């Protein structure tokens, strides 16, 4: 009996020592970004541009109350400088517009039930691959977050995420149980579920596979669900010496009321890195998001879910909300990119986009051309300055939509600090 007790003690000793070595901790982190923009995107250069300054402030903490447990809490304030008004609607520097909100608040437990499993629940950012389908939209002055839970399975060669997020809740919380407060309300809210698998990079190559579901239970038309959609796709990225590539494809199926959904996306980018040169990278790419032909009763327009769209379809954001901004007619985007590296702290980028609709309405399919130029200066590891200028030459579709034929212009100057 004594021998059994001794053996058990020796087996448990490493875990006991680990617990004794652990010290609870709290660390603070955050970021602040100021971005001034000059906006003349109305294709009418005879009118003066709009000008405004955005401020986003985020401050949070990461607490580790026990081993394998992490709690993240981050508050966020987003505002346009000078926009404070009093109850009468008058601008007032003593007013409070109450922009403060919870950006993230979640608990994460590692080694949950078993080694290699991590559980996370609460308000959180989601970011997958290059954020073409799901991303936190860092450019936005607010930023996207999701409310829900996730299980992450980490294996030697693959990571698998299973998550469920609530994107529209219609059931009201009842702090006091009364007949009216607890009455049944139809669950017409919306959910977002996903399975995301990432094959860990091997030989400079990476491959991901994903399956997403969005849906609600509302039934406006008898026998038809208002919305349910499955998105299945894959992402690949890699490099072979100085040549690099990136590709993604997806298919969407389901129902939107009485209309069937059947849409697809194909994207690809091929580039070359020039070591030791100011001209650091050159690349060409193409994106094709399917659209619904005029007169078509089914839904053929691909929607990039919760994408960080600012990164892909021009920095002027004419096509940041697809398929709405393309009238469900799809998008073809031929893009060329140049990256310049003047030093370890100074860089620049140039993007050219040629936009067309996939389906051709009576007014034609020519959306136009966009040129984006950015420059960055990294003052330190925590401080970065960035400037950008963009011009859009509208095609027949954009001229008709905005009732203007001049070039659209837009520029910004930003300072970002993180800690």
For CA atoms 74, 78, 81, 83, the dihedral sign is negative
Q: How many CB atoms lie within 10 A of CB 317?
A: 16
Q: Are strands 346-356 and 366-378 parallel, antiparallel or unpaired?
A: antiparallel
Rounded Cα gap, residues 61 and 347, in angstroms: 32
Alpha helix segments (H runs only) across 23-107: none
DSSP category for residue 115: T
Segments in the chain below pLDDT 70: 1-20
Tally: H helices and E strands in the chain: 2, 18
Instruction: Please check whether residue 285 is in contact with residue 248, taking contact to mean a CB–CB distance below 8 angstroms.
Output: no
Q: Which class for 89: exposed (0-12), middle (13-18), buried (19 or more C-beta within 10 A)?
A: exposed
Q: Provide the pLDDT for residue 364.
A: 94
Out of 2.40.160.100, 1.10.3470.10, 3.40.228.10, 3.30.429.10, which CATH number does the structure's domain 24-83+99-171+186-418 have? 2.40.160.100
Q: What is the pLDDT of residue 221?
A: 83
For residue range 139-177, what is the model confidence (pLDDT) as tens digits?
A: 999 999 999 999 999 999 999 999 999 999 999 999 999
Give the whole-angstrom CA distance, residue 281 versus residue 273.
4
The full set of domain ranges for the chain reads: 24-83+99-171+186-418
For residue 7, the model assigns a pLDDT of 44
Distance CA 25, CA 210 (A): 36
Q: Is the alpha carbon torsion for 338, 342, 343, 349 positive or negative?
A: negative
Question: Would you call 193 exposed, middle or buried from its count of C-beta atoms within 10 A (0-12, 13-18, 19+)?
Answer: middle
Collect all residues with Cβ–Cβ distance below 8 Å to 28 and sequence separation of at least 6: 59, 60, 61, 62, 419
pLDDT confidence of residue 20: 61
Q: Are 387 and 348 in contact (CB under 8 A)?
A: no
Residue 168, C-beta contacts closer than 8 angstroms, at least 6 positions apart: 189, 190, 216
């Amino acid at each position: 009996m004594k021998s059994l007790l001794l053996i058990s003690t020796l087996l448990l000793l490493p875990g006991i020592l680990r617990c004794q070595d652990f010290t609870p901790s709290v660390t603070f982190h955050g970021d602040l970004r100021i971005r001034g923009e000059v906006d003349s995107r109305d294709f009418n250069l005879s009118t003066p541009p709009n000008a405004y300054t955005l401020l986003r402030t985020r401050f949070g903490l990461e607490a580790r109350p026990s081993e394998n447990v992490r709690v993240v809490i981050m508050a966020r304030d987003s505002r346009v400088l000078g926009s404070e008004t009093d109850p009468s609607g008058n601008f007032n520097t003593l007013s409070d517009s109450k922009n403060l909100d919870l950006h993230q608040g979640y608990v994460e437990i590692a080694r949950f039930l078993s080694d290699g499993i991590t559980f996370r629940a609460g308000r959180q950012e989601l970011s997958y691959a290059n954020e073409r389908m799901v991303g936190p939209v860092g450019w936005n002055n607010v930023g996207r977050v999701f409310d829900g839970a996730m299980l992450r399975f980490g294996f030697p060669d693959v990571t698998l995420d299973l998550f469920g997020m609530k994107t529209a809740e219609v059931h009201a919380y009842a702090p006091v149980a009364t007949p009216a407060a607890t009455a049944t309300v139809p669950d017409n809210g919306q959910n977002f579920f996903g399975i995301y698998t990432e094959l860990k990079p091997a030989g400079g190559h990476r491959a991901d596979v994903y399956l997403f579901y969005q849906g609600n239970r509302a039934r406006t038309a008898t026998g038809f669900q208002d919305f349910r959609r499955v998105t299945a796709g894959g992402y690949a990225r890699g490099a072979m010496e100085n040549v690099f590539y990136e590709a993604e494809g997806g298919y969407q199926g389901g129902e939107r009321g009485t209309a069937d959904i059947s849409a697809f996306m194909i994207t690809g980018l091929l580039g070359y890195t020039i070591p030791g040169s100011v001209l650091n990278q050159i690349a060409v790419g193409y994106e094709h998001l399917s659209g619904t032909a005029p007169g078509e009763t089914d839904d053929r327009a691909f929607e990039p879910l919760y994408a960080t769209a600012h990164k892909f379809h021009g920095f002027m954001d004419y096509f940041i909300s697809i398929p709405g901004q393309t009238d469900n007619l799809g998008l073809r985007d031929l893009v060329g990119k140049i990256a310049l590296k003047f030093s370890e702290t100074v860089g620049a980028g140039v993007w050219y986009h040629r936009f067309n609709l996939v389906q051709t309405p009576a007014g034609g399919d020519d959306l136009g051309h966009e040129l984006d130029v950015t420059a960055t200066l990294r003052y330190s590891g925590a401080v970065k300055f960035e400037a950008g200028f963009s011009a859009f030459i509208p095609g027949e579709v954009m001229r008709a939509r905005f009732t203007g034929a001049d070039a659209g212009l837009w520029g910004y100057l930003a300072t970002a600090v993180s800690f």
